[in-house]
Amino acid sequence: MSPVPFNPINPQQFSQTGDRVTTDVQRYCSPTGQIADIIVNDLTIDSNGVWKTEKLRECIPPLADGRIPDSPKDIRECCRCQGLIHVESSYICPVCNLTFCIVCTTEFSPDKDKSIRLCIPCVEKATTTPLQKFYKWIVG
């Protein structure tokens, strides 16, 4: 056992080797079986002579949009490219009600005043459906 250093400025004690302690791991499993782990670490750093413990949250592997989710409930899988993304960067297509990333959606304008974000598979379908009929299908 190595002695535990004592910092007189901050009386909290830290072990000499436990500078990075994993305190929580939450696993997300997507509908197609992809896995992402949200790992919470207590990171002990020397900040200008004062020992501080900070929470460091990371996602392994990182999400496609670079965001770090708080919990597995924040993760979505794109139905087209299977990329894992944060819920706030995901889009639900109003036609098929499936979830997509920004790359797999596109702005669709049935007329010049209205535009709507649809998934690319639905837009591809729209090119084979009479435009007017398709527009009625979306807006009722």
Positions in the binding site for Zn ion (CB under 5 A) = 78, 80-81, 83, 93, 95-96, 101, 104, 119, 122
CA distance 127 to 118: 13
CB of 7 to Zn ion, least distance (A): 48
User: Of 38 and 122, which CB lies nearer to Zn ion in the complex structure?
Assistant: 122
User: Of 63 and 101, which CB lies nearer to Zn ion in the complex structure?
Assistant: 101
CA distance 76 to 85: 5
User: Of 25 and 81, which CB lies nearer to Zn ion in the complex structure?
Assistant: 81
135, HSE (Cβ side, Cα atoms, 13 Å)? 11
CB of 81 to Zn ion, least distance (A): 3
CB of 91 to Zn ion, least distance (A): 9
- Other Cβ atoms less than 10 A from the Cβ of 87: the count is 12
Q: Which of 41, 52, 49, 42 is nearest to 12 (CA)?
A: 52
